[in-house]
Homo-oligomer: A and B are copies of this chain.
Amino acid sequence: MVEQRSPEVREQQLDAVFGALADPTRRAIVRRLASGDATVGELAEPFAISFQAVSKHLRVLELAGLVERSRRAQQRPCKLRIEPLVAAGGWLGDYRELWESSFDRLDVHLTKKKGSSHA
């Protein structure tokens, strides 16, 4: 069933999720994980920063609920969790009405709606 969250906890989740997404390295990690699970080493490989720094970023993502880590031998494969993304999108969605009823930069919105195979 659906987990019930108090308003404060919801706020804290939004703090964590938006904060996690505020870093380009972490967004890149999320992007990468969207195409499939990966180990810390695989995730760190494309970045110029140290291995340990990526590990730290993963902890931030994990605290935000965006990443789930399991174990397989010495590796710790990471999996993307989308629920926090839904929560963040939901918060933004509260303002969809506002921007749909407004003409402020509506062109940008429409232009970005490419294929969009689903609502």
Q: Could you list which residues of chain A lie within 8 angstroms of chain B, going by C-beta atoms? A: 1-3, 11, 14-15, 18-19, 21-24, 27, 30-31, 34, 80-83, 85-100, 102, 104-105, 107-109, 111-112, 116-119
Contact = CB atoms under 8 A, between A and B. Distances in A.
A67 to B, nearest CB: 13
So how many copies of this chain end up in the complex? 2
A24 B15 contact: yes
B98 A82 contact: yes
A60 to B, nearest CB: 11
A92 B83 CA distance: 12
Nearest to A92: B89
A57 B22 CA distance: 16
